[in-house]
Structure 1
Amino acid sequence: MRVFEIIIYQLNVLFFDRIRAQKKNQDYSIKSATKMVMLLLHNFAEIMFWYLSMMICILKLEGDFSQQSTVWDYIRSNILNVATFNSNEIEKIVNKTNSNIANLIFFENITGLFMTLLCLARFVNLLPTVKSKDEM
Structure 2
Amino acid sequence: MEYFPHGTQTALARAVAAEVRALMAVERISVRELALSAGFRSHNYLAIRLRDEKPLTLDDVEMICAALGEEPTDLLQRAVDQHHARFIEDANRQAEANAVERRRREADEAELSGEAPSLRAVANKGKLEDPGENSI
Q: Which has the larger radius of gyration?
A: 2
Measured against the shorter chain, the TM-score band is: 0.3 to 0.5
Q: Give the alignment's TM-score, normalised by structure 1.
A: 0.38
TM norm structure 2 = 0.38
